[in-house]
């Protein structure tokens, strides 16, 4: 005879907490993976020559007719920082965008094409790891939702709980590896990437923080799931010992 089950309300409360954390992790990860704000910064570029009647601080005007000659270009690079302008840029796993001078909008390029050839393999591994991270998070969410709605047997619920814990822990490890690989690739691209892309200043953006927040929620969900499984097993063992003790007293079994 199986020992009595733990209170249903307590079991569902802990399962709901794990599911909520896992669901938040999935939403944060999808948002970060699809955005291009993992890193943000500025690029210092020479101001272009003014065209026609355009005026302003973001272009250079020359009185000479040959304003586009080699002397004019040399003049730009010798006069100092006042002839340069800083353009904001942001980059993600898929593409990098930077604002355009004297025009509205942004110019975007594939981040994969900017990565040095020697590091593209690591970037693709990072992308594959991120995709597997999403797949495992989704699998964990489905298992946890099934567990919440599965009322017929606590034992079957424990089996689902154990599997979802393993899946969630594996997802967290893959997410951590993927984020670290992208960080390494971006730093190598800053140092060895194309001259017309290398940033003057840069820092991590909100998508990068959201990706690590997703990892934190994933690990919190895994810990909650494992804690729920362990607590349920311990309660079963405790109830079984109490049941065996009551049998000994009732039938006067000798103590071993």
Full 3-state SS string of 214-237: HHHHHHHHHHHHHHHHHHHHHHHH
pLDDT at 86: 80
pLDDT at 27: 95
Partners of residue 43 on adjacent β-strands? 87
Quote the Cα angle for 114-118-121, to 5°: 85
CB atoms within 10 A of CB 44: 13
CB of 137 within 8 A of CB of 26?
Answer: yes
Which stretch of DSSP H or E encloses residue 107?
A: strand 106-110
Q: Three-state DSSP class for 180? A: helix
pLDDT at 54: 52
How far apart are alpha carbons 168 and 143 in whole angstroms? 10
Below-70 pLDDT ranges, the chain: 1-11, 48-82, 102, 150-154, 234-256
pLDDT tens string 17-64: 889 999 999 999 999 999 989 999 988 877 766 665 555 556 665 554
Domain limits, the chain: 8-35+116-194+204-235
CA distances from 133 to 99, 111, 125, 171 (A): 32, 21, 12, 5
pLDDT at 12: 72
**Candidates 1.20.140, 1.10.1330, 3.30.2010, 3.30.1370; correct CATH number of 8-35+116-194+204-235?**
1.20.140
CA distances from 118 to 123, 141, 181, 193 (A): 10, 37, 14, 11
């Amino acid at each position: 005879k199986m020992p009595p089950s733990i209170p249903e309300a307590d079991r569902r409360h802990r399962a709901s907490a794990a599911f909520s954390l896992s669901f938040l992790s999935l939403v944060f990860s999808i948002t970060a993976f699809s955005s291009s704000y993992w890193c943000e910064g500025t690029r210092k570029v020479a101001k272009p020559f003014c065209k026609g009647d355009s005026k302003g601080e973001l272009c250079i005007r020359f009185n000479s007719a040959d304003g586009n000659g080699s002397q004019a270009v040399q003049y730009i690079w010798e006069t100092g920082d006042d002839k340069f302008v800083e353009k904001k840029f942001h980059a993600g796993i898929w593409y990098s965008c930077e604002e355009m001078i004297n025009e509205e909008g942004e110019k975007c390029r594939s981040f994969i094409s900017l990565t040095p050839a020697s590091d593209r393999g690591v970037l693709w591994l990072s992308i594959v790891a991120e995709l597997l991270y999403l797949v495992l998070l989704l699998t964990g969410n489905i298992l946890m939702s099934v567990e919440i709605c599965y009322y017929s047997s606590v034992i079957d619920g424990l089996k689902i709980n154990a599997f979802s814990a393993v899946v969630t822990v594996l997802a967290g490890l893959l997410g951590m590896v993927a984020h670290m690989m992208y960080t390494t690739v971006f730093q190598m691209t800053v140092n060895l990437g194309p001259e017309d892309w290398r940033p003057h200043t840069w820092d991590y953006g909100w998508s990068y923080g959201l990706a690590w927040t997703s990892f934190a929620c994933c690990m919190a969900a895994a810990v909650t799931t494992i804690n729920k499984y362990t607590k349920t097993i311990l309660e079963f063992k405790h109830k079984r010992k109490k049941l065996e003790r009551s049998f000994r007293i009732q039938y006067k079994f000798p103590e071993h």
